[in-house]
Amino acid sequence: MQAYNTYTLATIGLTRYNWLMDYGQEALKRSKKLKGKLSMIVKDQLDSREKLSIYYTPGVAAVSSYVAEHENEARDYTWLNNNIAVVSDGSAVLGLGNIGPYGALPVMEGKAMIFKSFANIDAVPIVLSVHSADEIVAAVKAMAPSFGGINLEDIAAPICFEVEDRLKAELAIPVMHDDQHGTAIIVLAGLINSMKLTGRDLKDCRIVVVGAGAAGTAVIKLINKYAQPEILAVDSKGIIAPGRTDLNDEKKSLLAYTNKNAVEGSLEDAMMGADVFIGVSKANLLTPEMVKSMAKDPIIFAMANPAPEIMPDVAKAAGAKIIATGRSDFPNQINNALAFPGVFRGALDNRVGQITDEHKLAAAKVIAGLVETPSEDNIIPSVFDERLVPAIAKVIV
């Protein structure tokens, strides 16, 4: 462990997690050797004076003049047809919290690496040293002419909601906050196949969603759009209910989709008789006793990282039928990388100006359908499934 030097495990509060011991050393070593994960390539070589004259001066003047007069054709003459900005202010990096723009940069590089590896999209990591909604929106709008789409990442709630809504309204290119919608798409895909395995209809289920931040809010809204089941949202104070006086505007807005019967109480109360638990909160929040209080063949999506709300073996021992997490070392990984490459591939290829709820629903259905024979340990396709990106892209129209 000495290779961490002053950057100790204790510094980031992850001492107890074996995954960091297993992968952290290697990640540090490779990142330092490679000096990051990304580089830029050119599509033709500047190996002659003729090419230099064509691609730069004087030839480039003809292209610039044409594009200036025909802005709607810019994507036909520049890289706008195939590039995305991956934008973060580092205020809510998964598992690490508010670690700032420099801390966020390796994550954004990784996201860009996924875009290129799985969907051949040229993604550029952009980290911002501003944090208010006005500042983030202004920065993204200023750089937007350089990109064909905007993937927002790791921006804290509630600012992330305003930022995305404003950018979607003010830009003519696709914008998606992946922490919200990528998560929601994969959760819904997993639920669709879980219903098949347990003989349920999603509209008849009682679902408990723990975590009322960006991901939890998007999950609730997309599930409601798909099936309108009974949903209870739970935060650190208990069930989000009309009678509570401590709710901010974002949590109050969830009451339009949840808790139709104005139920009050704790997480323990919410879990009694529930069919589905969806956790986007923190480690070890769900107890075996809560799982045992659920309906027959309970479904557990425990997605807190790096440690889930309940470990799969513990949930299984308590009677869970289907268990999913956010981790790659357990079956059924709810991984945003299953969704966002295909969604943006389709948006770029089909010149989609805005990613809608209908696109998200279509993507979830396609992803679920790629698992031809679902099983308890196989409700989600692999991120390496070569059918994934083309299948999703086809329905983003």
Residues with active-site annotation: 56, 111
d(CA 354, CA 167) in angstroms, rounded, equals 10
Q: Which of 155, 128, 159 is nearest to 142 (CA)?
A: 128
User: Which residues on adjacent β-strands are paired with residue 318?
Assistant: none
d(CA 133, CA 68) in angstroms, rounded, equals 31
CA 335 to chain CA mean position, Å: 8
Amino acid letter, 123? A
d(CA 163, CA 150) in angstroms, rounded, equals 12
d(CA 78, CA 98) in angstroms, rounded, equals 35
| 344 within 8 A of 158, measured Cβ to Cβ | no
User: Which residues on adjacent β-strands are paired with residue 277?
Assistant: 208, 300
User: Which residues on adjacent β-strands are paired with residue 279?
Assistant: 210, 302
